[in-house]
Amino acid sequence: MANPQLAEYRSKRISADRAAALVKSGDYVEFGYCLSKPIAMDMALARRKDELFNVNVHCSNTLSKLFIAEADPRGEHFTYSTGHCSTGERQIMGTFGFYVPSSFGQNPEWFRRAYRPVDIAMIQTCPMDKHGYFNFGPTSTFLKACCEMAKTIVVEVNDKIPRALGGREEAVHLSDVDYVVEDPGACVDYYEVKSPPITAVDMKIAEYVVSELEDGACLQLGIGGMPNAIGKLIAKSDLRDLGIHTELLCDAMLEMHKAGKITGRRKANGRGKIVYTFALGSRELYDFIDDNVALAMFPVDYTNDVRVISQNERAVSINSAIEVDLTGQVCSESVGTRHISGSGGQLEFHWGAYMSPGGKAFICISSTYEGRKGEAISRIKPILTPGGVVTTPRPTVNFLVTEYGKVNLKGQSTWERAERIISIAHPDFRDELVREAEKLGIWKKSNKRDRS
């Protein structure tokens, strides 16, 4: 570091407790997104619980413990909001935490248009580099827009964060930062997210999807057993010159890259680059990201822009859901009124992929899930569970896939949709679904009745 820069850095260095002391009752505090959530400052803010009231804290999809929630479980001092529920956040919804409905790609504009005020941004970053920048690590999303609009910016540096190259809007400069917190004791290694084991159902669904892919396809997929199954099949396939333009970078994509399938040579946007806005996965994935020029991190209003997605030929969107009704409405964020996750960028990518030349969009679900008593429950419903949220509306849905097949819903009337959707439901539920379709007036006498 040059001496003037070093002097400025030292002048801005404060403890986590001093950073927490900046917060006043009624303030809006931004913790950022997922892996950018601070640790030391969250702990320090929790220690001030009894001094504060009506402090509004926003974060999304956080993996680390939320210390303010632990200190104030009834939300008497803090109000927490999230744009996408992680497993931990799910447990506090409706008591301490509340959901912010969002279309992920629009999030930066929330801040720039001042729809979401920010009194203090408290964000975990990489240590400052020799040019005076604090890299956000593999979480860009809306962080730069938040920093642009925040009245006060405090960064909490963590030397265990991989440095993610841009793209754009991947860092904030020392000159824009008000305070720096160094707390080695609170610096934890980046949280590894291990996907569940790949099941036979995952593998079957993956086979249907991979059979639709072509050389030069540009992929978006999420995290979990099914995306990992797709990654494994692609790695072993004859597919060539695939590209990545995604919201989430995950281990399945790393596996495809190691197999030589990802070149990005045919991409219109970010040619030759793996484009993403945040990453979740293994330590190996984070090591792959660190200072890697093959990747380019962008803000979410670029990665999730339908116009940008659709410019890549053969764009492919692969996402999961909680349940689907017989007209094709997709719920991916709640079971009735019980909140599970969030809208994310599913609608943006599903729409953008279909609009691209030769593009395809897939909603993938297992036909059933196990209930609390061990019983099988169909994910295909006559109507969505009352209170369930429509994440992807029926006119947008392209392919729907279960372990029993894949169907294209584009251009299909309600009775045709019902027939196709029932054909990929679990056999044990098909007759019942036919009866319900008849009650709903979306079943013709001429429809196929062999549901075996």
* pLDDT tens for each residue of 138-167: 999 999 999 999 999 999 999 999 999 999
The percent of residues in the chain predicted with pLDDT above 70, rounded, is: 98
Residue 299 resides in a domain: no
Judgement on whether residues 108 and 166 belong to the same structural domain of the protein: yes
**Is residue 70 annotated as a catalytic residue, yes or no?**
no
Residue 212 resides in a domain: no
Residue 146 resides in a domain: yes
Judgement on whether residues 333 and 359 belong to the same structural domain of the protein: yes
CA of residue 424 relative to chain centroid, distance: 27
Residue 2 — pLDDT band, cuts 50, 70, 90?
A: low
Q: Is the pLDDT of residue 199 over 70?
A: yes
Judgement on whether residues 259 and 352 belong to the same structural domain of the protein: no
Judgement on whether residues 122 and 231 belong to the same structural domain of the protein: no
Report yes or no: 9 and 117 within 8 Å, Cβ to Cβ.
no
- Distance of alpha carbon 348 from alpha carbon 327, whole angstroms: 20
| Mean pLDDT of the 241-263 span | 96
Residue 443 resides in a domain: yes
pLDDT of amino acid 94: 86
Residue 194 — pLDDT band, cuts 50, 70, 90?
A: confident
Nearest to 392 by CA among 451, 317, 449: 317
* pLDDT tens for each residue of 53-68: 999 999 999 988 999 9
Judgement on whether residues 127 and 228 belong to the same structural domain of the protein: no
Judgement on whether residues 241 and 328 belong to the same structural domain of the protein: no
Residue 34 resides in a domain: yes
Domain range enclosing 149: 3-186
Judgement on whether residues 109 and 155 belong to the same structural domain of the protein: yes
Mean pLDDT of the chain: 94
The percent of residues in the chain predicted with pLDDT above 90, rounded, is: 87
CATH number for the domain spanning 432: value is 3.40.1080.20
Burial class (CB in 10 A: 0-12, 13-18, 19+), 119: middle
pLDDT of amino acid 451: 44
Q: Is the pLDDT of residue 440 over 80?
A: yes
- Listing DSSP states for 332-364 in one string gives -SEETTEE-S--TTHHHHHHHHHHSTT-EEEEE
Query: Which of 240, 272, 294 marks a domain boundary?
Result: 294
436 C-beta neighbours (distance < 10 Å), count: 19
Judgement on whether residues 166 and 290 belong to the same structural domain of the protein: no
Judgement on whether residues 78 and 223 belong to the same structural domain of the protein: no
Per-residue burial over 59-74, b = 16 or more CB atoms within 10 Å of its CB, e = otherwise:
bbbbbbebbbbebbee
Beta-carbon contacts of residue 313 (< 8 Å; ≥ 6 apart):
216, 218, 266, 268, 356, 357, 358, 359
Residue 209 resides in a domain: no
Query: Which of 241, 264, 294 marks a domain boundary?
Result: 294
* pLDDT tens for each residue of 340-382: 899 999 999 999 999 999 999 999 999 999 999 999 999 999 9
pLDDT of amino acid 75: 94
Q: Is the pLDDT of residue 87 over 90?
A: no
More confident residue, 414 or 194: 414
Number of domains in the chain: 3
Judgement on whether residues 168 and 67 belong to the same structural domain of the protein: yes
| Mean pLDDT of the 113-128 span | 96
Judgement on whether residues 334 and 443 belong to the same structural domain of the protein: yes
Model pTM score: 0.95
Query: Which of 163, 186, 209 marks a domain boundary?
Result: 186
Residue 426 resides in a domain: yes
Catalytic one among 247, 333, 348, 403? Answer: 247
Residue 14 — pLDDT band, cuts 50, 70, 90?
A: very high
